[in-house]
Amino acid sequence: MNSKNKILVIGGTACGPKAAARARRCDPEAQITIIEQSPYISSATCGLPYYIDGIIPNQDSLTVRGPRYFKQVLNIDVLVSTRALSIDRSSRKVQILDMATNSTSALEYDKLVLATGTSPVVPDIPGVKLAGIHTLSNITDAVAVKKYLTPEIKQATIIGAGLIGMEMAESLASLGVGVTVVEMKDWLLPSLLDFEMAAYVEKQARQKGVKFLFGQRVTGFEGDSAGRVFRVMTAKGQVASDIVILAIGVRPNISLAMESKLEIGEKGGIKVNQFLQTSDPAIYAGGDCVENIHRVTGQPVLVPLGSTANKHGRIIGTNITGGKDPFPGVLGTSAVKIFDTNVACTGLNESGARENSYDILTCLVPGEEHARYYPGAKEILIKLIAEKNSGKVLGGQIVGPGEAVKRVDVLASSITFGATVDDLANLDLAYAPPYNNAMDPLHNAANVIRNKQAGLAEALTPMEVEAKIRNNKNFIFLDVRTEKEWNEQHIPAPQVLLMPLDNLRKALGKLPKNAEIVTLCRVSIRAYQAQRILKGAGFSKVKFVDGSLTAWPYELTG
Amino acid sequence: MNSKNKILVIGGTACGPKAAARARRCDPEAQITIIEQSPYISSATCGLPYYIDGIIPNQDSLTVRGPRYFKQVLNIDVLVSTRALSIDRSSRKVQILDMATNSTSALEYDKLVLATGTSPVVPDIPGVKLAGIHTLSNITDAVAVKKYLTPEIKQATIIGAGLIGMEMAESLASLGVGVTVVEMKDWLLPSLLDFEMAAYVEKQARQKGVKFLFGQRVTGFEGDSAGRVFRVMTAKGQVASDIVILAIGVRPNISLAMESKLEIGEKGGIKVNQFLQTSDPAIYAGGDCVENIHRVTGQPVLVPLGSTANKHGRIIGTNITGGKDPFPGVLGTSAVKIFDTNVACTGLNESGARENSYDILTCLVPGEEHARYYPGAKEILIKLIAEKNSGKVLGGQIVGPGEAVKRVDVLASSITFGATVDDLANLDLAYAPPYNNAMDPLHNAANVIRNKQAGLAEALTPMEVEAKIRNNKNFIFLDVRTEKEWNEQHIPAPQVLLMPLDNLRKALGKLPKNAEIVTLCRVSIRAYQAQRILKGAGFSKVKFVDGSLTAWPYELTG
């Protein structure tokens, strides 16, 4: 009898190898085996879009480690092209299939790790099996897409404007392929961003030539006589397409877990406790196939991300070798580069906060990534969501050409510890002109929420103002920028009146005291200042437009 | 009698104008006056080095707002070139001098704000008044330096390797002036960085041609017949110098406060309570002239920074108009760009932690700013300091060409809330290949400390290993990199033995079981792995070098 801990890991992308390597460092004696159905181990699947467009020139760069490294350095056996067929929990055996030889065998375990990942959702609609219709979840997929992208491929349709869809939009556009993104919901990155933040990103992507069809469901695909896709059909029309990327979402791979009667969570992922243990104490699960607890809501969520998978791996490696390391949950922090726009978010967005019945305050705060007088300062736009009374920060989204991800990481760190907007406003963040302003844009965003709590700042969202314009409401839409700025660009609405902030105090007599006034500028600092001047002068119905022109998601002149 | 709140602000750089503007937004009726002794209001003094080297081409960029803006938009009176002579606290009057007309008068106040800033320390040594010897604390200084920098100025000596000294080293070197930095302590940025972190930065600065003289006190200056400096004398020698920048530190401007018997703190700044109120409840003080509470130690500190001054300003503006907003203290978070090296730190450094009697663990963790397979990933080096038993993070320093400031901001946010290394290791930070690795380098640093807590990782600092080498100790210094890497660069010590990690398991028999072994690689990942392999194989005295070659502050071959 062998007293060594027998560890079997199913799945070799991120969580699995990490769990195995950590287990080895904790237990030099354990017998550790990883099985992986693809030919690759330790794949960098987040790099696939960048492999397709050539930013990552070499396919080898997509595999961090090979089986040889695992054997030589870690004394871990890796069986690639090997599939787990079933788990016998009573005898602690996994039936496996060697896909190269088509032979089956059984592997024993003391501890089993399920790191089975996700599979892309493929809709069951006519033509979905035509050549040229691809998903993108592993290296094999990426190689297939790259191979299909011959010079004849002129038009691509991407189904789904999520993370992979938007990365592929950039990837294919940068190869000179015309890109149309079809999204069932009404804006891009709908599970991450609120409408007005998505609109900011959309504007940048359209400038790069990407077309969007929102609110459209794909009904089928048409192919030529060679069985190659050439058209995507939607409920509202059709799009010529030489290639199609299906990126409508992923589902956790839970069939092995289900067949062996492990508990599945309400969101459809494998259910694990805080030690990432399934309902069978000898079986752990981590990575994309499990549900996580959201650190703000305390509710289970499915947020399959490589960042989480790696943390899971370390924790599982510790726990299957005698440790007791808890995983505290996720905030769904995400980042994606879409052309020159950095997009990042953490915690709840506005719709998520409302679904969870929070009474909230939000703000839209444009800012510059570093001191304006230091060259090259680029813009960011922050949306912050906080609980109204407590001021507890629930989430944030930041987009723009400037350094957005840094601020989202600060937000994620703060939300982790239950920060309020008061806390956020006083964070001692690093300042030097090349890196930041003396007040970080996050400080300003927190202060806008505090000003709203205090009743000093009263704002309307761009959407609320647009509804007033659309419904021909009678109000003064006071643009307090300079005449020069106004000539460059302004909102084409009959209610708009130009009155530069510098003249406002002198011109107060020209404005009717009881009129409803909405103030506007470029980034809402002057608009807020104007609101305070008007309020101070006895004007009772004054609000400013949150985010002003920078966040305005609708048409402008010029 | 006038019932309006009369607010008088002394000091017009950062805190003062911010306090005044905030007060106006909170109280439309108040009578608000700012007096400022220089001709400038709202100066961006952090931009001075960048104005001198021309990165900021226009002097006007250094003044964010002018008196006209304050009057027109904020209805605030600004008296520039005006000095406060004395405070009469009983009658609530400030005697002022109009330096243009040389006339004095008195201003009444209900609330007085002291935002008097700091003055550079000028040592009382021979020759210090020679032409060409400059301090750099305001726009007037910067204009003077820029004017003095004629083409004949070839050699500059900077006295003091603090933030301003190092920024000026870059500034002058980039203008083609030869730069020598003389520092009394033994390394650069001594109040911010520990030795080995400073050594990393020094290496980069030396590559740009900057010379350093550490541990040297300046004893005097010699000038030519025109009274222009040409030589700096130190206790150990002399340095030819056409221009000298005195950057040995700053002192809070507290004379007004002292003369009016306001309480001064133990560190020499004006003492304020959490509402930034001095010992006279009608007088508030903020910005560089006050002491702050350090959020880790709870002790008073002098950390004069623009980031803090601006936060102070807002809080004072709130509190002098009836609010009650507390300031929670500082972490001393700082950032500075030194050529292509980003330098940032927060909380306590190792010496600070030891002075405060913490029992600590530290780590040196190199990392890459984003996924290696995505082009352009640059290096950073992290030093993390945590309390040994609790794992509470006390501080961190990050340097390198890569994105250091982002991680320091995450650290600062985490330390604010009392984060432990366990918390840090599980922060849900944003990941996408252009922005980060699946595990942020901070996650790795936290995990190294956790591994040390758990006894899995045992390390020596570079300084400990260097002492062994210097003292000819008998140990095996096992370099586990590849032969190719070794040929490029290695540590020239007789104890060094090359044994690539890939071969280590096979070669174990060649190593004596009872020998003391210290493992080394490039970034300490392989060295740690080697340590685990050796420990697992029964070698008892094995440690790795923290930070390995990346953090090695001593000589290398090649």
Closest CA to A331 of A423, A413, A260, A241: A413
Given a contact cutoff of 8 angstroms between Cβ atoms, the answer to whether B311 and B329 are in contact is: no
Instruction: Say if residue B58 is in the same domain as residue B32.
Output: yes
Identity of the residue in B439, B505, B533 whose CB atom sits nearest the CB atom of A310: B439
Encoded tokens for B471: 């003292």
Cβ-defined contact of B431 to A46 (cutoff 8 Å)? yes
Q: Is the pLDDT of residue A65 over 90?
A: no
* Residues B241 and B255 reside in one and the same domain: no
* Nearest residue, CB atoms, A413 vs list B336, B410, B536: B410
Q: Output the pTM of the full model.
A: 0.97
- Distance (Å, whole) CA B437 – CA B366: 13
pLDDT value of position A129 = 97
Three-state SS letters, A356-403: CCCCEEEEEEEEECCCCCCCCCCEEEEEEEEECCCCEEEEEEEEECCC
Instruction: Answer positive or negative: Cα dihedral of B205, B210, B216, B217.
Output: negative
CB A155 within 8 A of CB A241: yes
B96's tokens: 């002022």
**Mind listing the pLDDT tens digit of every residue in chain B (558 residues)?**
457 999 999 999 999 999 999 999 999 999 999 999 999 999 999 999 999 999 999 999 898 888 999 999 999 999 999 999 999 999 999 999 999 999 999 999 999 999 999 999 999 999 999 999 999 999 999 999 999 999 999 999 999 999 999 999 999 999 999 999 999 999 999 999 999 999 999 999 999 999 999 999 999 999 999 999 999 999 999 999 999 999 999 999 999 999 999 999 999 999 999 999 999 999 999 999 999 999 999 999 999 999 999 999 999 999 999 999 999 999 999 999 999 999 999 999 999 999 999 999 999 999 999 999 999 999 999 999 999 999 999 999 999 999 999 999 999 999 999 999 999 999 999 999 999 999 999 999 999 999 999 999 999 999 999 999 999 999 999 999 999 999 999 999 999 999 999 999 999 999 999 999 999 999 999 999 999 999 999 999 999 999 999 999 998 987
pLDDT of residue A468: 97
Sequence-ordered strand ranges (E) for B487-541: 496-498, 517-520
Contacts of B412 in chain A (CB under 8 A): 427-430
Pair (A472, A537) in one structural domain: yes
Measured CA angle at A336 (ends A334, A339), to 5 deg: 165
Tally of structural domains, chain B:
4
**Could you say which of A44, A307, A433 has the minimum Cβ distance to residue B50?**
A433
Residues from chain B contacting residue A50 (CB–CB below 8 Å): 373-374, 433
Please identify, among B202, B220, B248, the residue that sits at the C-terminal boundary of a domain.
B248
Average pLDDT over residues A470-495: 96
- The residue type found at A370 is H
Among the listed residues A15, A26, A46, A289, the single catalytic one is A46
A103 CA: distance to closest CA in chain B (Å) = 31
Number of CB atoms found within 10 A of residue B68's CB: 11
According to the model, what pLDDT value does residue A1 have?
41
Cβ distance A165 to A224 under 8 Å?
no
Cβ of B375 within 8 Å of Cβ of A55? The answer is yes
At position A448, the amino acid (one-letter code) is V
B345 in Cβ contact with B395 (< 8 Å): yes
Within 8 A of B440 by CB-CB distance, chain A residues are 409
* Nearest CA-CA distance, residue B300 and chain A, Å: 16
Q: Give the closest of A50, A403, A427 to B374, CB-based.
A: A50
**In chain B, which residue's Cα lies nearest the Cα of A63?**
B373
Inter-chain touch B419–A419, beta carbons under 8 Å: no
- CA distance between the termini of chain B: 80
* Chain B positions in Cβ-Cβ contact with residue A330 (cut-off 8 Å): 428
Pairing of strands B118-120, B133-134: unpaired
Query: What is the structure's pLDDT at B541?
Result: 96
List beta partners, residue B133.
Answer: B244
Last residue of one domain, picked from the residues A423, A453, A483: A453
Q: For residue B209, what are the β-bridge partners?
A: none
With CA atoms as reference, the chain B residue closest to A405 would be B430
* Domain membership flag for residue A334: no
Ramachandran angles phi, psi of A112, nearest 5°: -115, 140
Nearest residue, CB atoms, A335 vs list B410, B427, B430: B430
Give every CB contact of residue A470 below 8 A, 6+ residues apart in sequence: none
Give the residue from A294, A429, A416, A309 showing the smallest Cα distance to B423. Answer: A416
Quote the pLDDT of residue A176: 97
The closest CB to that of A431, out of B28, B335, B413, belongs to: B335
CB-CB neighbours of B203 under 10 Å: 11
B392 interaction partners in chain A (CB closer than 8 Å): none
Scored b (16 or more CB within 10 A) or e, B85-109 reads: eebebeebbbebbeeeeeeeeebeb
Q: Are residues A380 and A286 in the same domain?
A: no
Based on the fold, state whether residues A298 and A202 are members of the same structural domain.
no
User: Distances in Å between the alpha carbon of B482 and those of A137, B502, B545?
Assistant: 33, 8, 17
One-letter amino acid of B344:
A
Residue B478 CA to residue B461 CA, distance in Å, equals 15
- Specify whether the backbone of A369 is left (phi greater than 0), alpha (psi in -120 to 50) or beta: alpha
Contact B373 A62 (CB under 8 A): yes
Give the residue from chain B lying closest to A71, CA to CA: B502
- Say which of B46, B345, B363, B521 is annotated catalytic: B46
Looking at the domain assignment, is residue A469 inside a domain? Answer: yes
Is B227 inside any structural domain? yes
What's the pLDDT score for residue B124?
Answer: 96
The edge-to-edge listing of strands for the beta sheet with A542-545 is: A459-460, A542-545, A517-520, A476-479, A496-498
Most B CBs within 10 Å, among A71, A163, A407, A413, to test the B interface:
A413
Chain A residues with CB-CB distance to B337 below 8 A: 432, 434-435
Contact state of B29 with A307 under an 8 Å Cβ cutoff = no
Interface contact flag, A295 B428, Cβ < 8 Å: yes
User: Residue B44 in contact with residue B309, Cβ under 8 Å?
Assistant: no
For residue A505, give the CATH number of its domain: 3.40.250.10
Residue B538 phi/psi, 5-degree rounding, is 100, 5
Residues of chain B found within 8 Å of residue A305, distances taken between Cβ atoms: 431
Is residue A397 located within the same domain as residue A494?
Answer: no
Where in the sequence is the domain holding A233, given as residue range(s)?
133-248
Contact B395, B385 (CB under 8 A): yes
Record the tokens describing residue A345, joined without a space: 């978010």
Would the pLDDT of A341 be above 90? yes
Instruction: Say which residues have a Cβ less than 8 Å from residue B136's Cβ, sequence separation at least 6.
Output: B48, B49, B120, B142, B145, B164, B168, B245, B247
User: pLDDT at residue A186 above 60?
Assistant: yes
Q: Write the single-letter amino acid at B280.
A: D
Domain endpoint, select from B453, B485, B519 = B453
Nearest Cα of chain B lies from the Cα of A240 at a distance, in angstroms, of: 31
CB contact under 8 A, A371 and B47: yes
CA separation for the pair B410, A408 (Å, rounded): 9
On whether both B529 and B501 belong to a single domain, the answer is: yes
Q: What is the pLDDT of residue B416?
A: 98
Q: Are A498 and A526 in contact (CB under 8 A)?
A: no
Amino acid B3: pLDDT: 76
Q: Which of B167, B413, B439, B531 should be substituted to probe chain A, the one whose Cβ sees the most A Cβ atoms within 10 Å?
A: B413
Contact present, B181 and B158 (Cβ < 8 Å): yes
Contact between chains at B44 and A373 (C-beta distance less than 8 A):
yes
Q: Count chain A–chain B contacts defined by CB atoms under 8 A.
A: 257
* Cβ pair B505:A72 closer than 8 A: yes
What are the respective helix, strand and coil percentages of chain A, to the nearest 5? Answer: 30, 30, 40
Secondary structure, 3-state, B224-236:
CCCCEEEEEEECC
What average pLDDT does the structure give for chain A?
97
Measured distance CA(A7)–CA(A77) in Å, rounded:
10
pLDDT reported for residue B1:
41
CATH number at residue A272: 3.50.50.60
Q: The tokens 């008088």 sit on which residue? A: B8
ipTM entry: 0.97
CA distance B456 to chain A (A): 7
A366/A231 Cα distance (integer angstroms): 40
Mutation for B interface: A56, A398, A409, most B CBs within 10 A? A409
What is residue B322's three-state secondary structure?
Answer: coil
Q: How would DSSP label each residue in A194-255?
A: -HHHHHHHHHHHHHTT-EEEES--EEEEEE-TTSBEEEEEETTEEEE-SEEEE-S-EEE--H
Amino acid at B36: E
Q: How far apart are CA A358 and CA A352, in angstroms?
A: 9
* A523 assigned to some structural domain: yes
Q: How far apart are CA B332 and CA B375, in angstroms?
A: 33
For residue B281, the 8-state DSSP code is T
Among A454, A509, A511, residue whose Cα is nearest residue A477 = A511
- Based on the fold, state whether residues A289 and A224 are members of the same structural domain: no
Of A73, A334, A435, the CB nearest to B405: A435
- Identify whether residues A143 and A242 lie together within a single domain: yes
The answer to whether the Cβ–Cβ distance between B311 and A439 falls below 8 Å is: yes
Chain B residue closest in CA terms to A15 = B438
Chain B residues close to A24, C-beta within 8 Å: 532
**Residue A14 pLDDT greater than 80, yes or no:** yes
Side-chain half-sphere CA neighbours of A471 within 13 A: 9
Residues in B closer than 8 angstroms to A533, CB to CB, are 28, 73
Is pLDDT above 90 for A3? no
Give a yes or no: residue B355 inside a domain: yes
- Confidence check: pLDDT of A445 > 80: yes
**Residue A558 pLDDT exceeds 80:** no
Cβ neighbours around B324 below 10 Å, total = 9
DSSP string, B528-548: HHHHHHHHHTT--SEEEETTH
Residues A276/A312, Cβ–Cβ less than 8 Å: yes
| Proportion of chain A above pLDDT 70, given as a percent | 99
Shared domain check, B280 and B244: no
- Which residues of chain B have a CB within 8 Å of the CB of A434? 337
Residues 6+ apart with CB under 8 A from B101: none
B373/A75 touch (CB, cutoff 8 Å), yes or no: no
CB contact under 8 Å between A414 and B417, yes or no, is: yes
Residue A46 among the catalytic residues = yes
Which residue stretches of A117-227 are H helix? 139-148, 163-174, 195-207
Where residue A104 falls (left for φ over 0; alpha for ψ -120 to 50; beta otherwise) is beta
Does residue B472 share a domain with residue B446? no
Please name the residue of chain B whose CA is at the shortest distance from the CA of residue A339: B434
Give pLDDT tens digits for A251-303: 999 999 999 999 999 999 999 999 999 999 999 999 999 999 999 999 999 99
In a domain, A287, yes or no: yes
Burial (CB count <10 Å: 0-12, 13-18, 19+), residue A543: buried
State which H helix or E strand residue B112 sits in: strand B111-114
Strand, helix or coil at B485?
Answer: helix
Q: What gap in Å lies between CA B478 and CA B545, rounded to an integer? A: 10
User: In this structure, is residue A299 part of a structural domain?
Assistant: yes
Residue-wise pLDDT for A218-262, tens only, equals 999 999 999 999 999 999 999 999 999 999 999 999 999 999 999
Q: Do A532 and B24 touch (CB under 8 A)?
A: yes
Phi and psi for B167 in degrees, rounded to 5? Answer: -65, -40
Q: Taking CB atoms and an 8 Å cutoff, what residues of chain A touch B532? A: 24-25, 28
Name the residue among A147, A335, A150, A166 with its Cα closest to residue A245.
A166
Q: Is residue A356 part of a domain?
A: yes
Pick the residue of B392, B428, B449, B525 with the most A CBs within 10 A to test the interface with A by mutation.
B428
Confidence of residue A2 (pLDDT cuts 50, 70, 90): low
Are A240 and A255 in a shared domain?
no
pLDDT in tens, A384-421: 999 999 999 999 999 999 999 999 999 999 999 999 99
**Three-state SS at A217:** coil
